[in-house]
Amino acid sequence: MIQDDPQVKYVVTSDIPPESQVHYTPEPQHPRRDLIGWLGSGALAVWAVVKYGLLFAFKIPALTTLISAVISVGAWSLLLGPWAAVALVAMIFVHEMGHVVEIRRQGMQATAPIFIPFLGAAIFQRSHPTDALKQAQIGIAGPIAGTIGASVAFLFYTTTHSPIFLVAAWFGFFLNLINLIPAGMLDGGWILAPVSRWLLVAGYGLIAVGVFVLHAFSVLLLVIALLGLPQLIARFRAGESPYYTSVPDSAKWALGLSWLGLVLYLGYMTLQAESLVTAIPR
């Protein structure tokens, strides 16, 4: 039988023979020691919550996406204000999910987008396409999804006249247009790489025109161009690789025309949305 006295530290049962039973007297209570014990237990509890909470967050992609999105919204809010920050992050999310859906459609694994404040978002995949056509399909899926998302936001603006939808549409049109530049790690580079390696050189020419002629200097654009140089060099070195030569001419034409159609539509809609945004009363 278990004794109910809370001051007894050890349990004595009647199943143990009397000669084998060992009795212990209660320990005296020390308030200071109890306080230290409570503080130590509290510290361990906080550490456990932090440690396993972070492990839980980073092992569940959806939760990681949510946390990184909230952080990114907070960061962008410092520059754009809260609602514009939400609109921007939403458009980035739609774009990146286009890539994720296509990657998973091809039977590969990919994480949900992980947002990086002031830079955008990234997705991670454990395997990669076996030819340039599949990689191009992944590349163009993002701008297609982003274009649809921006167009829906613009449609909402025309029916509700809410400025936040117009801002979201402008962000979507502009960001997806920039992503179609065929240079560096931008989507345009992946889309047009199987079409022609010289189109990647033209992409760097567009960046040069933007920087030196239009004076549209951007540190981020410069970083993208520099980081993309190894990819440009690798494309020329692998010119006769089956990775590129296996892409049929019909697919090259489809990619090229799809890219051109997106550029024309996004360019026009960016100008339309920008003209409306500048007319919004401040």
The pLDDT assigned to 215 comes to: 63
Please give the full DSSP string across 102-165, using - where no structure is assigned.
HHHHTT--BPPPEEETTTEEE--BSS--SSHHHHHHHHHHHHHHHHHHHHHHHHHHHHH--HHH
Selection from 256, 245, 266, 281 nearest residue 192 by Cα: 256
Instruction: Tell me, yes or no, whether 139 lies in a domain.
Output: yes
Residue 235, pLDDT above cutoff 80: yes
Distances from the Cα of 78 to the Cα of 71, 74, 81, 156, 224, angstroms:
11, 7, 6, 26, 24
Instruction: Tell me, yes or no, whether 119 lies in a domain.
Output: yes
Residue range of the domain that includes 211: 82-278
Per-residue pLDDT tens digits for 138-193: 999 999 999 999 999 999 999 999 999 999 999 999 999 999 999 878 899 999 99
User: Using an 8 Å Cβ cutoff, are 189 and 180 in contact?
Assistant: no
Per-residue pLDDT band at 71 (split at 50, 70, 90): very high
Count of C-beta atoms within a 10 Å radius of residue 247: 20
HSE on the CB side for 200, CA within 13 Å? Answer: 25
Instruction: Tell me, yes or no, whether 70 lies in a domain.
Output: no
Distances from the Cα of 167 to the Cα of 80, 134, 158, angstroms:
11, 33, 12
Instruction: Tell me, yes or no, whether 5 lies in a domain.
Output: no
Q: What is the pTM of this model?
A: 0.75
Mean pLDDT of 260-275: 96
Per-residue pLDDT band at 214 (split at 50, 70, 90): low
The pLDDT assigned to 176 comes to: 97
Euclidean distance between the first and the last CA atom of the chain, given in angstroms as a whole number:
79
Q: How far apart are CA 146 and CA 133, in angstroms?
A: 20
Instruction: Tell me, yes or no, whether 72 lies in a domain.
Output: no
Q: How far apart are CA 124 and CA 122, in angstroms?
A: 7
Distances from the Cα of 25 to the Cα of 11, 21, 28, 265, angstroms:
12, 13, 9, 86
Mean pLDDT of 96-103: 94
Q: How far apart are CA 216 and CA 227, in angstroms?
A: 19
Instruction: Tell me, yes or no, whether 179 lies in a domain.
Output: yes
Query: In degrees rounded to 5, what are phi and psi of residue 86?
Result: -60, -45
Selection from 192, 201, 189 nearest residue 254 by Cα: 192
Instruction: Tell me, yes or no, whether 15 lies in a domain.
Output: no
User: Using an 8 Å Cβ cutoff, are 165 and 153 in contact?
Assistant: yes
Instruction: Tell me, yes or no, whether 25 lies in a domain.
Output: no
The pLDDT assigned to 216 comes to: 61
Number of domains in the chain: 1
CB neighbour list of residue 264: distance below 8 Å, 6 or more residues apart: none
Per-residue pLDDT band at 251 (split at 50, 70, 90): very high
